[in-house]
Amino acid sequence: MLSNNTSNPPALACKLPRKAARFALSLAVMFSGLVLSHSAQSADTSLKSDISSYYDSHLSDLFLWFHQHPELGFLEQETAARLAAELRGLGIEVTEGVGSTGLVGMIENGPGPLVLVRADMDGLPILEDSGLSYASRNRQINFSGEDVPVMHACGHDMHMTTLVGTAKMLMDNRDAWSGTVMLVGQPAEEIINGAKAMLEDGLYQRFGVPDYAIGLHVSSGAPSGMVTVREGIVQSSSDSVDIKVRGIGGHGAYPHQTIDPIYVSSQLVIALQGIISRQINPLTPAVITVGSFQGGSKHNIISNEVNLQLTVRADSEETRNEVLTRIRDTAANIGRLNGLPDDLLPVVRMGFESTPTNINDSAAVAKVLPAWQEQFGYDPLLTSQRPGMGAEDFAYFTQTEHKVPGVFFSVGGTPPDLMREVASGRASAPQHHSAFFRIDPNSVKAGVEAMYTAAVELLNNP
């Protein structure tokens, strides 16, 4: 899941802010109470037992392999090959090379709806510092020719392992459902381009337009194994924006003979925040973050150019388009304010990374909820406010041309020992996209249980 966080202090060295500690404590208390009451519910204990057995015999080792062999987006050659081999080993027909390194496994089991079940595969260019005995030491040459460290700092190792476990349960219980399942191993989620690439490569034309789509994300900071879901907006849209601010360079001692692009860019950075605070309805969520400001070469030289890199987030296409339009207008007007001629006005370009808002279909969630409530013994529906404006390109499968009803849910991944520290306010769970990120591998079991249960419910009750 795309996030703005790139680093985090060691897990047990940073105290939580009071509000965050209270929230973590409420989660821990709620989940412990739910677990205690679980035995009174009519859960499918045989499913739990089958998942646990498969985890012990195979999935636990598979998780470790994925964790120790991360690869960057569109470079997931070994990862995709291993995932494809796992699915083929279950007797599933697999097509590789869909959208570059993506893959599709099809399970046909009589008449009924087509349900897409997705897991993302890529890692991040981060040197792992989790302290885990199985920490990644993998390195890879990226598309810029740089040799960089790679780690699964966002839980995609858990997602892939969950997909394999779900496939195993579907194959072993074909008498319990009817229809077709499309298992998707998606590349390049971290650069929010893999889902789009698979669609552009004819995913729906070649394999069918799904009646439903299911995805999951493991969540640091939530108790391991706790399944949660939201109705409506789950993640925000995200757009990367590049702005080239040009100027008229010269000597730093004679600024009056120049138009200083660093000065112009500084004004622009401030003005961009005014879009959010003064031009967008304050009740409408939106974010503009300037993540990179690059310009100049020496103390006494006024440069000719500055390059800015932005991430833009919104919760609706209307707001998204309005913010992007205002960014273009603001950049041009700041240039004019500083005397730049029209041929030197700032150039605004949309970057490579973008995704629409990820929205859960309320009717689809309503179909799945009763089955989850019965299976887990608690109601996983969250009604609290979202903690931020992260993005997920799962939205391409559901929110673009075909408007496929989607169910995107979360599974807690914070190990029990760390969760106790988090809940007490003595520590923070390492954030996603952090070198210290770590999750409890056992969360895979709840992921399989939730994904399988959701898929069967949508297959049998379209």
CA–CA dist 200, 361 (Å, integer): 23
What domains appear along the chain, each with residue ranges and CATH number?
11-236+357-460 (3.40.630.10), 237-354 (3.30.70.360)
pLDDT of 3 reads 46
Tell how far CA 155 is from the center of its chain: 9
More confident residue, 232 or 21: 232
Instruction: Report the C-alpha gap between 433 and 214 in whole angstroms.
Output: 23
Question: Minimal CA–CA distance to 360: which of 407, 410, 398?
Answer: 407
- In sequence order, the β-bridge partners of residue 378 are none
133: its two tokens: 């005995």
Under DSSP, the state recorded for 430 is P
Structure-block tokens of residue 236: 């925000």
Q: DSSP assignment of 90-111, as one string?
A: TT-EEEEEETTTEEEEEEEESS
Mean pLDDT across the chain, nearest whole number? 92
Q: Is beta strand 250-251 parallel, antiparallel or unpaired with respect to 237-246?
A: unpaired
Q: Residue 16's pLDDT is what? A: 43
Residue 53 makes CB contacts below 8 A (sequence gap 6+) with none
What percentage of the chain has pLDDT greater than the value 90?
85
pLDDT at 5: 40
Q: Does residue 39 or residue 435 have the better pLDDT?
A: 435
Q: Measure Cα distances from 364 to 203, 212, 269, 373, 448 in Å.
A: 22, 8, 41, 15, 19
Structure tokens at 116: 């897409």
Best CA proximity match to 234, nearest among 221, 216, 213: 216
Q: Could you read off the pLDDT of 79-130 as tens digits, one per residue? A: 999 999 999 999 999 999 999 999 999 999 999 999 999 999 999 999 999 9
pLDDT at 26: 54
Kindly state the average pLDDT of the residues 139-150: 97
Q: What token pair was written down for 49?
A: 């037992």
d(CA 106, CA 104): 7
The answer to whether residues 261 and 335 touch, using CB atoms and an 8 Å cutoff, is: no
Q: What's the rounded mean pLDDT across residues 54-83?
A: 98
- pTM of this structure: 0.90
Flag whether pLDDT at 15 surpasses 60. Answer: no
H-assigned helices in 127-233:
156-172, 194-200, 203-207
- Distance between CA atoms of 438 and 415, rounded to whole angstroms? 9
> Cβ–Cβ contacts within 10 Å for residue 96, how many?
14
Pair of tokens at residue 240: 């990367």
What is the average pLDDT across 197-220? 98
Summarised one tens digit per residue, pLDDT across range 175-204 is 999 999 999 999 999 999 999 999 999 999
CA distances from 119 to 102, 223, 370 (A): 10, 21, 24
**CA distances (Å), 200 to each of 63, 100, 182, 391, in order?**
30, 10, 17, 20
- Written as six digits, the tokens of 15 are 């105290």
- Decide if pLDDT at 2 tops 90: no
Residues whose CB is less than 8 angstroms from the CB of residue 387 and which lie 6 or more positions away in sequence, other chains included = none
Lowest pLDDT segment from 387-391, 403-407, 433-437: 387-391
* pLDDT score, position 1: 62
User: What span, in angstroms and rounded, lies between the C-alpha atoms of 169 and 167?
Assistant: 5
Give the mean model confidence (pLDDT) for residues 287-303.
97
Whether 303 has a pLDDT exceeding 50, the answer reads: yes
CA distance linking residue 27 with residue 29, whole number of Å: 6
Q: Specify the range with the lowest mean pLDDT, choosing from 31-35, 209-213, 335-339.
A: 31-35
Q: How far apart are CA 86 and CA 313, in angstroms?
A: 36
pLDDT at residue 335 in the model: 98
Phi, psi at residue 255, to the nearest 5°? -60, -25
* Residue 421 or residue 256, greater confidence: 256
pLDDT at position 65 over 90 = yes
End-to-end CA distance of the chain: 28
Identify the CA nearest to 243 among candidates 333, 153, 345, 317: 345
The Cα–Cα gap between 211 and 260 comes to 55
Task: Answer yes or no: are the C-beta atoms of 314 and 233 closer than 8 Å.
Answer: no
User: Rounded distance, CA 334 to CA 331, Å?
Assistant: 5
Q: Tokens standing for 58?
A: 């195979």
What span, in angstroms and rounded, lies between the C-alpha atoms of 411 and 272?
36
Least Cα distance to 241 among 390, 126, 358, 346 occurs for 346
Torsion (CA) 220, 225, 231, 232 in degrees, nearest 10: 30
Average pLDDT over residues 64-88: 98
Question: What's the confidence (pLDDT) of residue 386?
Answer: 87
Instruction: Look at residue 42 in the predicted model and tell me its pLDDT.
Output: 63
CA distances in angstroms from 435 to 9, 189, 320, 417, 428, listed in the order given: 9, 18, 31, 19, 14
Return the beta strands (E) in 22-101 as ranges.
93-98
